[in-house]
Amino acid sequence: MTWSPLRLSPLRISPRSVLRRVGMGLGLGSEATLASLADDLAAIHGDVLAITEEDPAGEVRELTYCELAETVARYSAAIAARSSRGEPVVVATPNGVDQLLVSLAAARAGRLPAPVNAQMSTAEVRHVVSDCGASLVVRDVSELSSGKGSRAEPPPAERPDPADIAALFYTSGTTGKPKGAELSHRGLVGNLSAGALVPPVLRGHEILMGLPVAHIMGFVALLAPMIGGVPVYFLDRFSASRVLDVIEERHVAAFIGVPAMYRMLLEAGAEDRDLTSVRFWMSGADVMPADVARRFKSFGSIASLPLVGALGEAAFVEGYGMVEVAGGVAAKVSPPILPLGLGDSLGFRLPGWKFRVVDEDGEVVRAGATGELEVSGPGVLKGYWGDESNSAAVLTPDGWLRTGDLVRSGPFGTVVFVGRVKNVVLTGGYTVYPVEVESDLEEHRDVLEAVVLGVPDARFGESVVAAVRLREGAQLTEDELKSWAESRMARYKAPRHIVFVDELPRTGTRKVQRAKLTGLFEHA
């Protein structure tokens, strides 16, 4: 048995106090930028271990804050020699810590990193490159270790205005193609919203994750512990069995994942493993079922005492956010033992953020009524890269972001999630816009019309499925179309099930009645 010095009850942790300790206490205030972050953290933490990374082959590497900063500086010299100041650099490396390091290096060199998900197809990456006009695409860090600029003296870190654009994060499009969300330094780093989600009591203990770094949750989840001085054990590829092994072997104190990952951990036998070292379970990107959160709380513990063993249960922390706000805007904590902080409430606003609930006319609704959630704060995107129409569609004239989420105002300033305004599918923590998938499917020469929707899925929350009308005489099979789709789009976007129909149910105005199509997929 080992003593775990956990003395602070989660009930006493407030977002404001966490922000103060993580941010101001470390000397990283609102002027911090993505460009200077690696250098600044090295100056604060020096040779302290920052990240331990494990690849799918089981190879492990460790990076201290100084080593991390040296690597970022070296990469920045190569990037500076191969691109122009202020232009986007597409970071298309495999998922892993290197994707974060190259993004930091691009920012350090005065460029705009645009990390793309490793699951994106070649066509999707090509679209991102074309859309942002990048002249440099980094597909592997080895490309920066030789050739032009690789042996040059690293330039000093850029010191941009915190309000400047720091990076482009591409999100699925409501009008067919991914859009580049322009996120500021203040949004990604300066306001330290993500740091508020890292309990200070975890310092000196390890936090485990296996998230996609190009996804805003993964990017912020990796940055936040670094800023908070918490060592990270990072898995390049999520494996439920490996996560359980690592928790047992290393006595991990916290785990960050999405609801789909928690479901897979249960399927892998989580309840039969020793997970009592975990003090905090953390989740985001989708609504966490209360019963699943409750079970994981019982697997962990609040402390371990010599001769006594594990005591109590763990806390469960959920964050609410999206790429357009550069991470999180609300959080809730379910403390050990107490059945609080579970369910559909989005939790409490993080410092610096404002909420309002409006009707279809943009008027604020009365207390307790349902409307669309709009948010205002330091992380709201500046717009979509080169896309004024879509920027205007999500940003109000007075600078509020239309989230597309329907909520109802609750007690103590909280809001309760009700549904979604936008037609989206949330699968495994990823947001999929049906119109984007429909557009791709309809490029197949045998497809006349495609309707994409989400159906309940026990593991991923929702599955992407499609009802398709084919041209007369077409001999296309479901497997052939699924394979074709998988070659053109990220795996999580491609329909898991496709049903061919002669006609689609429509309203009097010829709109497709999507609700009537769900019955076609009951077998799925």
Question: What are the DSSP calls for 247-262, one per residue?
Answer: HHHHT-SEEEE-HHHH
Does 359 reside within a domain?
no
- C-alpha distances (whole Å) from 70 to each of 32, 46, 93, 102, 105 are 19, 11, 19, 12, 10
Q: What is the mean pLDDT of residues 133-147?
A: 95
Q: Which of 350, 374, 398 is the last residue of a domain?
A: 350
Does 355 reside within a domain?
no
CATH number for the domain spanning 373: value is: 2.30.38.10
Does 361 reside within a domain?
no
Task: Rank 31-40, 64-73, 296-305 by mean pLDDT and report only the highest.
Answer: 64-73
Q: What is the mean pLDDT of residues 192-198?
A: 49
Tell me the two tokens of residue 168: 């482009």
Residues 22 and 36 in one domain: no
Residues 21 and 48 in one domain: no
Does 357 reside within a domain?
no
CATH number for the domain spanning 87: value is: 3.40.50.980
Q: How confident is the model at residue 202 (pLDDT cuts 50, 70, 90)?
A: low
Residues 215 and 314 in one domain: yes
Cα angle, residue 445 at apex, residues 444 and 451 outer, rounded to 5°:
50
Residues 332 and 199 in one domain: yes
Residues 17 and 43 in one domain: no
Q: Is 284 exposed, middle or buried (0-12, 13-18, 19+ CB in 10 A)?
A: buried
Q: How confident is the model at residue 29 (pLDDT cuts 50, 70, 90)?
A: low
Q: Which of 405, 420, 435 is the last residue of a domain?
A: 420
Q: Which of 152, 186, 220 is the last residue of a domain?
A: 186
Q: Kindly state the DSSP code that residue 341 receives in the 8-state scheme.
A: S
Q: How confident is the model at residue 218 (pLDDT cuts 50, 70, 90)?
A: very high
Does 356 reside within a domain?
no
Digit-coded pLDDT (tens) for 274-305: 999 999 999 988 778 888 899 999 999 998 78
Does 159 reside within a domain?
yes
Q: What is the mean pLDDT of residues 329-339?
A: 90
Percent of the chain residues topping a pLDDT of 70: 89
- C-alpha distances (whole Å) from 416 to each of 346, 348, 405 are 6, 11, 10
CB neighbour list of residue 311: distance below 8 Å, 6 or more residues apart: 301, 302, 303, 304, 305
User: What's this model's pTM, rounded to 2 decimal places?
Assistant: 0.81
Look at residue 508 in the predicted model and tell me its pLDDT.
55
- Cα–Cα distance between 12 and 14 in angstroms, integer? 6
Q: What is the mean pLDDT of residues 242-264?
A: 94
Do 372 and 404 touch, CB atoms closer than 8 A? yes
Look at residue 11 in the predicted model and tell me its pLDDT.
29
Residues 97 and 135 in one domain: yes
Residues 36 and 157 in one domain: yes
pLDDT value at 14 more than 60: no
Residue 329 DSSP SS3 = strand
Residues 271 and 228 in one domain: yes
Does 503 reside within a domain?
yes
Residue 372 has phi, psi (to 5 degrees) of -85, 135
Question: What are the DSSP calls for 168-211, one per residue?
Answer: EEEE--TTSS-EEEEEEHIIIIIT-TGGGGS-GGGTTS-EEE--
Residues 239 and 291 in one domain: yes
pLDDT value at 407 more than 80: yes
Residues 337 and 413 in one domain: no
Strand duo 49-54 + 232-235: pairing:
parallel
Question: What average pLDDT is seen over the chain?
Answer: 86
Digit-coded pLDDT (tens) for 474-515: 999 999 999 999 998 888 999 999 999 998 887 654 567 888
Residues 273 and 346 in one domain: yes
Residue 358 DSSP SS3 = strand
Does 323 reside within a domain?
yes
Domain count, the chain: 4
CATH number for the domain spanning 267: value is: 3.40.50.12780
Q: Is 109 exposed, middle or buried (0-12, 13-18, 19+ CB in 10 A)?
A: buried
Residues 222 and 335 in one domain: yes
- Domain interval for residue 229: 1-26+192-350
- Cα–Cα distance between 217 and 332 in angstroms, integer? 16
Look at residue 203 in the predicted model and tell me its pLDDT.
62
CATH number for the domain spanning 448: value is: 3.30.300.30
